[in-house]
Structures are given as structure tokens and as C-alpha cells.
Amino acid sequence: MSWRIGVGKADITPDVPGIGMLGYGIRDQNVQGVATPLFARAFVVQDGDARLAYCLADICFISQSVRDRVMERLDSLGLNEHQVMLSATHTHSGPGGYSHFLFYNLPVPGFCEQVLDAIAEGIAQAISSALESLTPGTVRLAQGAIPDHEPVGFNRALTSYNRNPDVAKVAASDAHVAIDRTMTLLRFDDAAGRALGAFAWFGVHGCSVHSDNTLLHHDNKGCAADAMEQWAVASLDAPGFVAAFPQTTPGDVTPNGRWCARRRLSVGPFDDDFDNARLNGEIQARQARRLWRLAASSPPLRGALAGRIRYASHEELPVDSDLVGGRAGVRTARARIGINMLQGTGEGPGPLLHLPWLTWPLQRLLRAADLVGRGLGRGPNPHGTKFPFLDTSRGGRGRAFGVFIQGDPVLPGFVDPVVARVKALKQIDGVGDKPWTNPVVPVQLFVIGRFALSALPGEPTTTAGARIRETMRGSLGALGADTMVVGGYGNAYAGYITTRQEYDQQRYEGASTYFGRYTLAGYRTRLRALAASLAAEPNGPEAPLGATPLRFTPRELALRAFVPAD
């Protein structure tokens, strides 16, 4: 039986003026208009009773609330959790307010049902359109590196990257080669050879447009999709062509390679951010067109068509000993955000960006305590040298900076609008004791012939992604998969995913890795087990979903709701 292919696209642009944007965490970056519409783009592949649906949305990340709402809408279409994978382009110029977890809504400020509905409805519509358009067709695969001379991405955390023993050390002038420049493309055609669409995975942050922008914008990934779709209309006579550019491992990859002294930001080659987003998108689209043509000479994918998802708490999770140097009994940590998150990055500076010396003594103290603890036989501290900023695992009962009750700030509200927001929530019993970030998150695998795709609920760095691909390669060969792609921002969100060496450096990325120095080992452990389950029964009875994700009551959400300004 031949495969059937369908593609779909739907608008997800919300109409909520004044809602905060999600990505930079800037309280006064509020939506004032629309520069580009936001879309969800989907494909469905079917082989008999086996179906897989993938959808990419022009938002910062997928939240558990988005996934839950989408699955409610897809229930009548016969798709189950294992068959649906959701991801995000990671634009920093999209709306916030669609997560149920307090931490992400503090700068917005508040949960917004209208934004969540617009996103979920659009994603469900894109998948529904893909199902309705199913037709016999082919899926072909091509892979290749974006040439080094193309200024598509740069490693923004080279000191951390160079700590990894499995990479060649790179000088600052060569930051463009310290990333994974590989793009992987799936080409979709119908049985008559007419072009249907293309999805091209490549990792680069969605921050060509900076925090001084107040217009909804799909950033470089959306620009790439627009360019590819316009090319398909003009060159392939394919007006319904759907192109999407999902993320892979962009955790330490920036599109900005130039320091602008005037703006005190790292920026692209042009002075205008929208021009930089278009340039970066055109580079990605140009590579996708090369791969499209290359894929024409490759055989159609055949073999397994299978998917599996499993939820688990990533806190205090046992990890496989071979992934941590043979040590037994190692676990991840409870969620904590480090103080160096406040440094931010070159394109999104935080208040401590130019004051790293303030935190060096704290890190040295924690490193010494860690060494003493090991000497006394207590084993390594799972949080390593991370000095706490927020203890998000414990909600309002957690300790800010390891000292103060974070749900009842001692600082006056005028110091920072986020502090003012927490104080206001405290007055109406809106803080609560539930975690401020998501502890129970899914991992997922899709196998489409020899192509394997993982979905992780976070932002893997370049080297973390390489190690995850190695885990996938060792676990999915039995299904015939030989091309492995790691997808970030998948199905939920729980911060960064760094290597242990990067984590111990405690730059922005390490400080934003919630579950401690063994976060990556935890995901590799879970993916290994999931792959074994999938290989044993790729098309067997519906597998268990695992733990139940944390959810919030209508009252809790109402207390934290976004209230538009008059």
C-alpha cells in the first residue's frame, strides 16, 4: 500500500492588543500591531492505519496547555497522542499568555484564554486541512550543510561550547562553524509528481528581531517559509505548497553576528531587524531549495511509520549510569533557575550582562562546596555551581536567591514590574504553591522510513544535540532509521538542555537549564527507553502515556488572567 500525504496551513494570529510578547522577558514589549501574520503549518503521512501528524507554529514554544487544547480539538479526527507532534519556530516576536505556568506569564502579564484559543484553533485547523488533503504520494529525504560563507548562525556561548571534550576548540572569529550547519529536508509530492510541500529542519534562534519591536513578527523562520512558498508558486506552479522550517538544536545559536554599539546589542548585518530576518530566512530558503532539488534523485522513503510519546517528571529522575561516567544512583535535580539567567545574551541583554564578576565569587563558593561534598562521599551536587535565582519547583514557597520567599517579595514593587506583578498576585491569593515551571514533560519520537525525529520540551545546544543524535542512532537502527534529527520546543517547555560541561560554566544557557547538570543525561535516558518501546512494537496497541501532566483549575487561571490596559 502506498503512502498518503497531506499538508495544511492556518492563521494563528491573535487579536489581543497590549498582550506581552514571549521570549525576551521584557515587561514593556507589548503587542501594538501586526508586521506579519503568524501561521501553523502541518503535514500528515499515512500508511494504512498508521498516521503521523506534525505541526509547526509561529510562536516562542509549545506549552502543555497548547498541546492539551489541540488534542481536544483533534479527538474527533481519530488522532491520538502518539500520532501528533507539535513544535514552534521560537520567534521572540510572538504573543505570550498561552502557558498556564506562572513564570512565563509574569512579564506578559497574565494568562490569556484568547491567545491560547487562537493558537490551538489554528494548529488544529492546519492538521485538519492536512488530513482532508491526503492523497497518494511520496516522501523524499535530503540533507546538507549550509555553506560556511552564509551568515546564518553563530555560537553565542563559545566559552561553554569549548569546554566539551567531544568538540574541536573554536576561536571567537570562527563562531559560525561552532554550530550544526546541517539542514534536513523532507520533500512531499503527490503520485503525479506535483509538489505538495517541504519541511526543513535547521537550528538558529528566532531573534533576528529584537525586544524594541512591538509588532507581531514571524522572524527568520517565518521569512524562510514565505520565501520557499513564493518560490514554489513561481517555479513549481504549486499554489497550495506548504513550507516550514522547524528548529533543531538552537540553544547556543544566534543569527546575530555583529555588535551594535548604538543599540548595545548583537544584531545582523543590516540596521533594520526586519531586513535581517528576511536575509536569514532567505539563506535558509536557499539551502532548502538546493535540498529540494537534491531530494528529487533520492528514492521515496519506505518502511516503518511509527510514533510514540511518554510523559514523566524530569525532576529527580534516575539516569543511565553509562551516560554519567559509570556512576550509579545519579538523578536530575528539582527545577531551579540560576542567577546567571539575569545576564541574558548579546541579543537579549539582562541586568547582569556586563557584571559577571558579581556572580563569580558565588560560583567559586559552590564549586568548593561541591568538591568538599564529593570528598565526604556525598556524590556530586546535581545543581553543580548554579546559584539560585528562582526555585521554580516549589512555586510561591520557593526561595528567591536562596533566601527570600519568592511568592512574597520583600522588594518594593517600583523596583521591577515583575516584582510588582507577584506582589499584586499575592494580595489576591493568585501565586499558589504549584510549580512555576513545568516538571512533568513529554519526550516523543517519530520514525518515517529511515528518518527519525525526536521532540524535546526545551532548547538543546549544539553539542547536546549531537549527543542526543548518538543516543537515537544506537536505539532506532532496528527500525531502519539512519538519519536522526533532534527537534526542540516540542509539545511542552522546560528551559534549556545543555551538556554537563556547558552547564558547569553557568552562562545564560546553563543557568536556564532547570533540572541541573544531568538534565541532558535524563533526556537521553528517556529517549533510549522510548526508542526501545517503539522498536519492540512500532505498530502495536496504543502505548501508555506515562505520568499525568500538571494542570491548573479555572479559578487559578482566572486569578492570573491578563487584564488589558484601559
**In whole angstroms, how far apart are CA 360 and each of 18, 356, 367, 506, 517?**
38, 7, 10, 10, 18
Confidence band of 363 (pLDDT split at 50, 70, 90): low
Domain membership flag for residue 497: no
pLDDT of residue 539: 78
Domain membership flag for residue 482: no
pLDDT score of 13 more than 80? yes
pLDDT digits (tens, 9 = 90+) for 149-163: 999 999 999 999 999
Q: What is the DSSP string of 355-390?
A: -GGGTHHHHHHHHHHHHHHHHTT----TTTT--EEE
Domain membership flag for residue 256: yes
Closest by Cα among 250, 277, 465 to 345: 250
Domain membership flag for residue 210: yes
Q: Are 434 and 395 in contact (CB under 8 A)?
A: yes
Q: Are 401 and 380 in contact (CB under 8 A)?
A: no
Q: Using alpha carbons only, how large is the chain's radius of gyration in Å?
A: 22
In 3-state terms the chain splits into helix, strand, coil percentages (rounded to 5) of 35, 25, 45
Domain membership flag for residue 53: yes
pLDDT score of 391 more than 70? yes
**In whole angstroms, how far apart are CA 417 and each of 103, 109, 413?**
13, 9, 7
Domain membership flag for residue 533: no
Mean pLDDT of 297-313: 96
Domain membership flag for residue 342: no
pLDDT score of 367 more than 70? no
Q: What is the pTM of this model?
A: 0.96
Where are the extended beta strands (E) located within 407-516?
440-448, 451-455, 459-460, 483-487, 496-497
Distance of CA 229 to the CA centre of its chain: 24
Q: Which residues contact 81 (CB under 8 A, 6 or more apart)?
A: 71, 309, 545
pLDDT of residue 384: 87
Q: Which grid cell is 17?
A: 492588543
pLDDT score of 369 more than 70? no
Count structural domains, the chain: 1
pLDDT digits (tens, 9 = 90+) for 25-65: 998 999 999 999 999 999 999 999 999 999 999 999 999 99
Q: From CA 405, how far away is CA 398, in angstroms rounded?
A: 6
The alpha-helical segments, DSSP class H, found in 49-112 are 64-74, 102-105
Domain membership flag for residue 480: no
Q: From CA 135, how far away is CA 133, in angstroms rounded?
A: 6
Secondary structure tally for the chain: helices H, strands E: 13, 26
Confidence band of 86 (pLDDT split at 50, 70, 90): very high
Q: From CA 422, how far away is CA 321, in angstroms rounded?
A: 40
Could you tell me the residue range of the domain that residue 235 belongs to? 4-309
Closest by Cα among 215, 253, 460 to 345: 253
Q: Which residues contact 448 (CB under 8 A, 6 or more apart)?
A: 45, 52, 139, 186, 301, 304, 305
Mean pLDDT of 506-520: 97
Q: Which residues contact 251 (CB under 8 A, 6 or more apart)?
A: 458, 459, 460, 461, 462, 464, 488, 496, 497, 498, 509
